[in-house]
Amino acid sequence: MSTLVTHLAPDFTKPAVLPNGSFDEKFNFHAHIRDKYAVLFFYPLDFTFVCPSEIIAHSHRAKDFQKRNAEVIGVSVDSHFTHYAWRNTPITQGGIGPIDITLVSDLGGEVMNAYGVSHPNHVALRGSFLIDKKRYRAPPSSQ
């Protein structure tokens, strides 16, 4: 795996489901985070029993991130239609319910490959990237 720190975050244009539940067929990452920080996280698949807690927790903090000029964006290899169905399924029935973050579809796996989080089974490994306003990955903490 190559080092990603201090390199420009790979850009992508992919279909996504926005926080208001609408589709953006050409969601462009760099355009969306212009002059903002970003938390870009990857997860394997929708409708699994482990992923929902992480995504729901990110959503519960979305407004806190926005107050700090940061956007939270999730990515998996599911289609934007599957993301839409998952967020429109109640938590009690295996869904995530309405969430306040963008979910991006990476059907071909190009984004997960660009960020070095692809698994041999053609899904994304869990991974989170903090990206600064200039679209560079944040340096590791010195603490």
Read off the pLDDT of residues 116-135 as tens digits, 9 standing for 90 and up: 999 999 999 999 999 988 87
> What is the band of 53 on the pLDDT scale with cuts at 50, 70, 90?
confident
**Burial class of residue 23 in the structure, from the number of CB atoms within 10 Å of its CB (0-12 exposed, 13-18 middle, 19+ buried):** middle
| Residue 41 CB partners (closer than 8 Å, separation 6+) | 54, 58, 72, 73, 74, 75, 126, 127, 128, 129
Angle CA(63)–CA(140)–CA(135) in degrees, nearest 5? 60
Q: How distant is the alpha carbon of residue 35 from its chain centre?
A: 18
Residue 33 lies in a domain: yes
Pairing of strands 23-28, 13-17: antiparallel
For the stretch 11-52, pLDDT in tens is 999 999 999 999 999 999 999 999 999 999 999 999 987 668
Looking up tokens 């929902």 gives: 52
Residue 136 lies in a domain: no
Q: Which amino acid is at 119?
A: H
Residue 122 lies in a domain: yes
Mean of the pLDDT values across residues 43-68?
90
The span from the CA of 53 to the CA of 56, in Å, is 5
Residue 21 lies in a domain: yes
Looking up tokens 């599957």 gives: 82
Residue 96 lies in a domain: yes
> How high is the pLDDT of residue 138?
52
Residue 38 lies in a domain: yes
Mean pLDDT rounded to a whole number for the chain: 90
> How high is the pLDDT of residue 137?
59
The span from the CA of 138 to the CA of 49, in Å, is 30
> How high is the pLDDT of residue 133?
87
CATH number assigned to the domain comprising residue 21: 3.40.30.10
Q: Are 131 and 9 in contact (CB under 8 A)?
A: yes
Active site residues: 51
Residue 106 lies in a domain: yes
> What is the band of 99 on the pLDDT scale with cuts at 50, 70, 90?
very high
Full residue range of the structural domain in which residue 19 is found: 14-131
User: Per the structure, how many domains does the chain have?
Assistant: 1
Residue 1 lies in a domain: no
